[in-house]
Amino acid sequence: MFSLKLKFKLSMPFHRVLVLLFFIFSCLYFVTIQTKHHHGYPEHEQFHHLVSHVSVPPSPAPEAAAVAGPRYSVFNVLDFGATGDGVADDTQAFKLTWDTACELESAVLLVPDGYSFMLQSTIFAGPCKTVGLVFQIDGTIMPPNGPDSWPRNTSKRQWLVFYRVNGMLMQGGGLVDGKGEKWWNLPCKPHKGINGTTMPGPCDSPVAIRFFMSSNLTVKGLKIKNSPQFHFRFDACHGVRVESLTIKTPAQSPNTDGIHIENTNNVQIYNSFISNGDDCVSIGAGCYDVDITNITCGPSHGISIGSLGVNHSRACVSNITVSESVIQHSDNGVRIKTWQGGSGCVSKVEFRNISMEAVRNPIIIDQYYCLTKNCSNQTSAVVINDISYVNIKGSYDVRSPPMSFACSDSTPCINLTLAQVELQPATRGHVVANPYCWNAHGTILAQTIPPVYCLEETNVTIDNTNLCGQVLKQIIM
């Protein structure tokens, strides 16, 4: 039979023989390719068995997708085993993706749109080889849901930490959901006790996103909500730009500061909307060269410097500007708060072009800050010097005076400057209240509404350079 078939084929025209051979080899190639693609792990499962080691890339790693523009390689967390269903633990997949991206000169860690990723408390550690690492959040990231879901033997004070990272951009149109409701309802929280008191019990709550000992950072365009505690915290960082953020948390959520900075310098916070249960922006000890512009803040506790000097500590803050912003329906407007018994200084601060809408304490200096209302008088205080308030206008909540300068008995506030300040009662029919001053010295450059007759002329001088400048350098170096 074989000889007959062969004879038949050889008797065929030559062009038909060529067509028949081409068809046979094409079928064999297709079968080979299909067999290759159906053996081994599926695409999203082949990395579940890998274990993360900080700054050590997985082997083998998925190939990166190229993007337009500079030579960036894109690493999608799904390709490293992330599930993205909001239930499964995707922490290891994120760590593997980070470790791989960290080893390249230019890389993007992609959190894709349309997925929700649950992550345990983790640290994304540098330094990286990447010159411009991009953490692109287009999907949703969330932590375990509440204290009871938090793993034992894991710190409850922080969730996502970026440590010793240089030149990173975190951006995207996605969402970071802090799942903070169960944390806010711990018995220890201030709003749970009688008259604002706290109850006994565990109280640690995680900061959502913390940058520590990092530099040249940009955070842009993200939405973040319902953090258990602070939403963003920058500790010991240099060169921070925060832009176009939306931060939303209920007004009664305790200690949910929007952006907190500590021992951090060269900071720009621009064009953001923040509504929360504490300060929109809080500036802690060791900060200088901070520019805050075009912030819509409230309901909240306002924009604050402090609190400073707790437990007799030394704290210095200098060269701060807050401008072109709106503060609305908040417990405070622009505030400086210090504890009695502290030392150091706050100097060269300018609050300029700010609109107030139904705000309690639109302008306030409080050097008697105390959480328990049982703090004893102390003889030392953080020095407050060279603070200006220019073009601050709007309405104030009549439960508090429009301006309050409560300065230390032992150390007066000096070189306070006011110009174009106009604050009217938010409720019709109320008489404009008088400002409050205690040991406050300064100058009125233009008549204010209401008039600040209680402000004393400045007749005290302080060597601010020795007091603040040297201390700031010691903190940052």
pLDDT (0 to 100) of residue 31: 34
The tally of CA atoms less than 13 A away on the side-chain side of residue 367 is: 29
pLDDT, average across residues 281-290:
98
**Res. 105 pLDDT band, cuts 50 70 90:** confident
pLDDT (0 to 100) of residue 463: 53
pLDDT (0 to 100) of residue 188: 86
User: Comparing C-alpha atoms, which of 251, 234, 257 is closest to residue 337?
Assistant: 257
User: Residue 320 above 90 pLDDT?
Assistant: yes
User: Residue 191 above 90 pLDDT?
Assistant: no
**Res. 467 pLDDT band, cuts 50 70 90:** low
User: Residue 132 above 50 pLDDT?
Assistant: yes
**Res. 422 pLDDT band, cuts 50 70 90:** very high
**Residues 338 and 346 sit within 8 Å (Cβ to Cβ):** yes
User: Comparing C-alpha atoms, which of 297, 307, 306, 305 is closest to residue 277?
Assistant: 297
Higher pLDDT, 196 or 81: 81
Most confident of 34-48, 83-97, 192-206, 365-379: 83-97
**Res. 58 pLDDT band, cuts 50 70 90:** very low
Mean residue pLDDT of the chain comes to 85
**Res. 193 pLDDT band, cuts 50 70 90:** low
User: Residue 195 above 70 pLDDT?
Assistant: no
pLDDT, average across residues 207-223:
98
Residue type, 146: G
User: Residue 409 above 80 pLDDT?
Assistant: yes
**Res. 471 pLDDT band, cuts 50 70 90:** very low
Taking the CB of residue 98, how many other CB atoms lie within 10 A of it? 28
pLDDT (0 to 100) of residue 72: 80
User: Residue 26 above 50 pLDDT?
Assistant: no
Is 49 a residue of the active site? no
Strand order in the sheet with 232-235: 122-125, 158-163, 207-212, 232-235, 259-262, 281-283, 303-308, 334-338, 363-366, 403-406, 436-438
pLDDT (0 to 100) of residue 50: 34
DSSP of 411-466, one letter per residue?
S-EEEEEEEEEEEEESSTTPPPPPPEEESEEEEESS--BS--TTPBPP-----HII
Least confident of 86-100, 238-252, 361-375: 361-375
**Res. 66 pLDDT band, cuts 50 70 90:** very low
pLDDT, average across residues 305-331:
97
pLDDT (0 to 100) of residue 192: 54
**Residues 302 and 335 sit within 8 Å (Cβ to Cβ):** yes
**Res. 382 pLDDT band, cuts 50 70 90:** very high
Percentage of the residues of the chain whose pLDDT score is greater than 90? 71
User: Residue 41 above 80 pLDDT?
Assistant: no
Least confident of 122-131, 144-153, 455-464: 455-464
What residue ranges define each of the domains in the chain, with the CATH number in brackets?
70-146+159-182+209-272 (2.160.20.10), 279-369+379-476 (2.160.20.10)
DSSP of 280-311, one letter per residue?
SEEE-TTEEEEEEEEEEE-SSS-EEEEEE-GG
User: Comparing C-alpha atoms, which of 244, 75, 240 is closest to residue 162?
Assistant: 240
pLDDT (0 to 100) of residue 167: 95
User: Comparing C-alpha atoms, which of 317, 336, 195 is closest to residue 264?
Assistant: 317
User: Could you give the 3-state DSSP secondary structure of residue 374?
Assistant: coil
User: Residue 244 above 80 pLDDT?
Assistant: yes
pLDDT (0 to 100) of residue 194: 60
User: Residue 48 above 50 pLDDT?
Assistant: no
pLDDT (0 to 100) of residue 419: 97
Name the active-site residue from 49, 301, 430, 441: 301
User: Residue 159 above 70 pLDDT?
Assistant: yes
pLDDT, average across residues 321-344:
97
User: Residue 425 above 80 pLDDT?
Assistant: yes
